[in-house]
Amino acid sequence: MSNLPKIAWIGLGIMGSPMAENLLKAGYQVTGFTLEQDKLDRLAAAGGAAAGSIAEAVEDADVVITMVPASPQVEAIAYGENGILENAKSGALIVDMSSITPQTSIDLAKNAAEKGIRVIDAPVSGGEAGAIEAVLSIMVGGEQADFDEALPILEALGKTIVLCGPHGSGQTVKAANQLIVAVNIQACAEAVVFLEKSGVNLQAALDVLNGGLAGSTVLTRKKDNFLNRDFKPGFRIDLHHKDMGIVTDAARNVGAALPVGAVVAQLVASLRAQGDGGLDHSALLRAVERLSGAQI
Ligand code: NAD
């Protein structure tokens, strides 16, 4: 029998599935629950155990990892009769890796503490590719001792893992991350339309741009999406819309102005309103193309 902590994994989507598989590869025992049967089958095929409910997944777990879309889903899986807090062992550690509002993380930590359950917020950056390659950046909020306990697990999922401060801090840093990524994608999308309309070879232009100060992880990871107009997610516009809401709200609360972020948040919202919410966030290119006269 392994001495490694037993893991429950709730939320096996685009990110959760490959992340849970990386824990299996690292030798952890993982019991998972998610809403789609095919994702449960995928976990079982990779050597994990598929549970029939959240309660069944978490009852024996030392560490419960959650990776669901947004605050309402985190609240749904945490609270209530069939939720994590009612069914996990006292002393268990919840590692919530979803991107949610900092306040939801603070409230969850407080409510869990009443049941003797500890929580850290540990949202990630790096996208689906980063999840598959186990090179995510993981920004953590919570107590040092809980961070130290989770670190070996997080090291099987990511490369840059930093405790940013008390509960909610990981989410605040993730909100800043999403601001930077959205503005960067928007700038790249505007450059793509400008370059194409100017008749420059786009592949050549993006290659040389990425070697200079304009280069970025966004350009490296999304270049082919732009070149091939391949907007299969990846990271859905719907989720980035949620994140732009989180960052604009959190910034307003502390009196920080985000003038460019606010414009990009509107462009993301507009793309979603035009029916593109299920596409990858590199589809911001479609919004710029429409603004530049294309019929898409
Ligand atoms: P996704 O929609 O692909 O997966 C979400 C999963 O949560 C689904 O499998 C769904 O079954 C599960 N879920 C929802 N409600 C549930 C419930 N009540 N009980 C059990 N399972 C439930 O989303 P994703 O792209 O994997 O993103 C997950 C989180 O990670 C989001 O907060 C997102 O913002 C963040 N994130 C995503 C990326 C990315 O590139 N996709 C990158 C960084 C961070």
Task: Answer yes or no: is pLDDT of 53 > 70.
Answer: yes
- Say what the pTM is: 0.96
Domain contains 282? yes
Report the first-to-last Cα separation within the chain, whole angstroms.
Answer: 57
Which of 61, 102, 58, 93 shows the shortest CA–CA distance to 77? 58
- How far is ligand 1, taken at its centre, from the CA of residue 73, in Å? 9
- How far is ligand 1, taken at its centre, from the CA of residue 143, in Å? 25
pLDDT on residue 230: 98
Task: Answer yes or no: is pLDDT of 1 > 70.
Answer: no
Report how far residue 120's alpha carbon sits from residue 171's, in angstroms, rounded to the nearest whole number. Answer: 10
- Each residue of 129-160: pLDDT tens digit? 999 999 999 999 999 999 999 999 999 999 99
pLDDT on residue 80: 84
Domain boundary among 112, 145, 166: 166
Co-location of 38 and 65 in the same domain: yes
Mean pLDDT of 254-281: 98
Task: Answer yes or no: is pLDDT of 71 > 90.
Answer: yes
Mean pLDDT of 210-219: 97
- How far is ligand 1, taken at its centre, from the CA of residue 76, in Å? 13
Our answer on whether the CB atom of 98 is closer than 6 Å to any ligand 1 atom is: yes
- Each residue of 99-126: pLDDT tens digit? 999 999 999 999 999 999 999 999 999 9
Probe target for ligand 1 pocket from 21, 34, 121, 238, with the most ligand atoms within 8 Å of CB: 34
Probe target for ligand 1 pocket from 42, 67, 218, with the most ligand atoms within 8 Å of CB: 67
Co-location of 180 and 41 in the same domain: no
Domain contains 1? no
Domain membership of residue 156 as a residue range = 7-166
Q: How far is CA 220 from the centre of its chain?
A: 19
- Each residue of 8-22: pLDDT tens digit? 999 999 999 999 999
CATH of the domain at 111: 3.40.50.720
Mean pLDDT computed over every residue of the chain: 97
Report how far residue 18's alpha carbon sits from residue 69's, in angstroms, rounded to the nearest whole number. Answer: 16
Question: What is the tally of structural domains in the chain?
Answer: 2
Report the percent of the chain where pLDDT is more than 70: 100
Report how far residue 181's alpha carbon sits from residue 96's, in angstroms, rounded to the nearest whole number. Answer: 21
- Each residue of 172-199: pLDDT tens digit? 999 999 999 999 999 999 999 999 999 9
Co-location of 268 and 284 in the same domain: yes
3 is written with which tokens? 């001495």
